Structure 1
Amino acid sequence: MSIVAVNTKKIIKQRGLLQKKVAIDAGYTPKRFSDLLNNRKIVTDQDIIRIANVLRVSPNELFKSE
């Protein structure tokens, strides 16, 4: 799983958000968003920007490694 997917899922869980709501707010179908987070689709730079905007984090936060 990509670091972007791991961090996105972690932020969604920490904030008590629904993955479906984040998907829709970012302009994705829930299926497409799930595919991005489960490495069935390639996450592009535009995807990262859209996801970061909805989560209200910088794109760099999605790349952080702990």
Structure 2
Amino acid sequence: MTIKEANFPFDVGIAKLIQNKGIKQIYIANKAGYTAQELSDMLNGRKIIKLCDVPRLADALGEDIDTIYSAGEESE
């Protein structure tokens, strides 16, 4: 299993919600306590999204975890 496969559907859901809201990744990264590079690595399969990362990113996006999951699943 690759990192990209392990991060699915959260990576896709987070990227989709960021795009739909018209905000920048750096804003979400900073709000969640990550650098822009760390978030980019998560969304592009270079860094695993750990269980503890998901609620932090959900809070930064102002969404619940289920919404992120669903947004990612819709893209499949």
Query: Aligned partner of 2:66: which letter?
Result: N
Q: Which residue of 1 aligns with 2:48?
A: 42
Partner residue, 2:57: 51
Equivalent residue, structure 2, for 1:8? 14
AA aligned to 1:10 is K
Gaps of 5+ in 2: none
**Equivalent position to 1:22, from 16, 21, 28:** 28
Give the C-alpha shift of residue 28 in structure 1.
0.2
Q: Which structure would you say has the larger Rg?
A: 2
Q: Which runs of 4+ in 1 moved over 4 A?
A: none
How many residues are matched? 66
How many angstroms apart in 1 are the aligned matches of 2:52 and 2:66? 13
Mapped to 2, the partners of 1:62 and 1:14 lie a distance apart of 12
Identity among equivalent positions (%) equals: 33
- Of the three residues 29, 33, 39, the one matched with 2:39 is 33
- How does the TM-score come out when normalised to structure 1? 0.91
- Cα offset, 1:45, TM superposition: 1.2
